[in-house]
Amino acid sequence: MRIKNCFGIWGIMLFSMTGLCGCSVPEQETPQMRTIVPEEIVIPILPSESSEPEEVVPEPEVVTITISAVGDVTMGNYVGQIYTNSFREMYGTVDSERYFFENVYDIFSRDDMTIVNLEGVLTDSDAAASGRTYNIKGDPEYARILTYGSVEAVSMANNHRLDFGQTGSADTVAAVEAEGIVYAYDKNIGIYETKGIRIGYVSVNALSQSREVEKMMQDGIARLQEEQADIILACCHWGIEKDLYPTGYQQKFGKQCIDWGADLVLGHHPHVLQGVEQYQGKYIIYSLGNFCFGANRNPSDKDTMIAQQTFTFVDGERQEETAFRIIPCSISSTPERNDYRPMPAAGEEAKRILDRVNQYSEGFGLQFDAEGYVAE
């Protein structure tokens, strides 16, 4: 009975104490009563879509190569030509070698390579080859005209390369080499490199229409392919002088050049313009005509042109699409005579020359617009 009473008294006291305000009795921390404050939790903030690092895709490297081509360039005279109003007289009269190409310099200097057909030799030799109607030569120093004209390459395989024998040919090679100009003829292929692109070309005299010449072209193209040329030109001296339309052989051989691997065929020798044909997506220019032509003091037909083609490479790979155009020109800056200073035609003259090329190209299904570009 006393035990029960004693428990009751202490129980009442304990109950009373626990019921009092907590501010009067400090709360004792026990494992059951301890307030657990969690450590700071770092929640990673994921970047939004706009702040995610984007994959950097390098811009493709685009390289364009524009090649300008013209026809016969004869810097000098033929044996027996009258000195008055001749190329030699003009050279001795003008103040600078820049004179001869100054009207087309802006075009040639803006392209990546200019190539001309160098007809006639540059030599001091007087030992003219016998049995030739015209033996054409200029002085070796005339090679500077090409440099001042922004001409980088010459084709030399033609019917005048040996007008002064092997000596004249060797002297010509030495003269253009001294100016840093690339050359090609027969089995000697030429390669010009710019912007990391290798432009190769073969130059043959196809007037003989022989299998030997055809093999020379085929082998030359194959060698350029082995040399990893990115663009291959075929320079063909062919056709009949003064004929306005190509022969069947020109058409056959031009297509063969492309079948063997040429990307552009450049024709010369007729001394007049002929048409342009597209074959397998590539162009055959049957005759570029004369250009800076010292072998005639006043030719009756002064029409000529600059042919230009632009090739595009993306990350080193050549694209199929190209831009081809012709720029109508005259071989002289005056109609009265030949002043050996070719110039672009303008206005009605330009239209007239373009009309001629369109007439000659009509049979090949190719036409050029008013700006000289291939018409759709």
In a domain, 22, yes or no: no
Confidence of residue 42 (pLDDT cuts 50, 70, 90): low
Assigned domain for 35 exists: no
| pLDDT band of 83, cuts 50, 70, 90 | very high
Residue 359 lies in a domain: yes
Supply 59's token pair: 């811009």
- Name which residue leads in pLDDT, 376 or 250: 250
Distances (CA, A) of 271 to 178, 302, 339: 28, 9, 17
SS3 of residue 233 by DSSP: strand
Given a cut of 90, is residue 39 above it in pLDDT? no
> Percent of the chain scored above 90 by pLDDT?
83
Structural domain includes residue 132 = yes
d(CA 230, CA 226): 11
C-alpha–C-alpha distance, residues 184 and 157, integer Å: 7
Per-residue pLDDT at 56: 83
**Tokens representing residue 86 in the block:** 């001749």
HEC assignment per residue over 282-332? EEEECCECEEEECCCCCCCCCEEEEEEEEEEEECCEEEEEEEEEEEEEECC
Q: Is the model's pLDDT at 2 over the cut of 80?
A: no
What are 141-200's pLDDT values in tens digits? 999 999 999 999 999 999 999 999 999 999 999 999 999 999 999 999 999 999 999 999
Q: What is the pLDDT of residue 233?
A: 98
Residue 29: predicted pLDDT: 42
Q: Which residues of 78-91 are buried (b: 16+ CB within 10 A; e: fewer)?
A: beebeeeebbbebb
Which of 41-50, 171-180, 244-253, 343-352 has the least mean pLDDT? Answer: 41-50
Check whether 17 has a pLDDT greater than 60. Answer: no
Mean pLDDT, rounded, for 14-19: 38
Residue 178 belongs to a domain: yes
Indicate whether 12 pLDDT > 50: no
Share of residues in the chain with pLDDT > 70 (%): 86
Amino acid 58: pLDDT: 86
DSSP 116-168: EEE-SEE-S---PPTT-S--EEE-GGGHHHHHHTT--EEE--STTTTTTHHHH
CA distance 86 to 294: 7
- Whole-angstrom Cα distance, residue 39 to residue 2? 53
Q: Compute the distance between CA of residue 311 and CA of residue 323 in angstroms, rounded to an integer.
A: 7
Q: What is the pLDDT of residue 16?
A: 39
pLDDT band at residue 10 using 50, 70 and 90 as cut-offs: very low
- Give me the pLDDT at residue 196, please: 96
Burial class (CB in 10 A: 0-12, 13-18, 19+), 166: exposed
Q: Is residue 308 part of a domain?
A: yes
Kindly report, residue by residue over 114-123, the tens digit of the pLDDT.
Answer: 999 999 999 9
pLDDT per residue as tens digits for the range 316-370: 999 998 999 999 999 999 999 999 999 999 999 999 999 999 999 999 999 999 9
DSSP state of 337: S
Largest CA distance in the chain: 162
Strands in the chain per DSSP E: 62-74, 77-78, 113-118, 121-122, 136-138, 153-155, 182-184, 190-194, 197-205, 231-237, 264-268, 276-279, 282-285, 290-293, 303-314, 317-330, 343-344
Q: Domain for residue 49, yes or no?
A: no
4, pLDDT greater than 80: no
Residue 148: its pLDDT value, please? 98
Give the CATH number, domain containing residue 176. Answer: 3.60.21.10
pLDDT, tens digit, 9 for 90 and up, residues 89-104:
999 999 999 999 999 9
Whole-number average pLDDT of the chain: 89
User: What is the count of structural domains for the chain?
Assistant: 1
Of 10-14, 68-72, 143-147, 335-339, give the lowest mean pLDDT range: 10-14
For the whole model, what pTM was predicted? 0.85
CA-CA-CA-CA torsion sign (168, 207, 192, 150): positive
Task: Look at residue 1 and tell me whether its pLDDT is greater than 60.
Answer: no
Confidence band of 49 (pLDDT split at 50, 70, 90): low
- pLDDT class of 44 with cuts at 50, 70, 90: low
**Domain of 163, in residue numbers:** 62-364
Helix (H) or strand (E) holding 6: helix 2-19
Whether 115 maps to a domain, the answer reads: yes
Write down the pLDDT at residue 55: 81
Looking at residue 321, what is its pLDDT?
87
Q: What mean pLDDT is predicted for residues 54-74?
A: 93
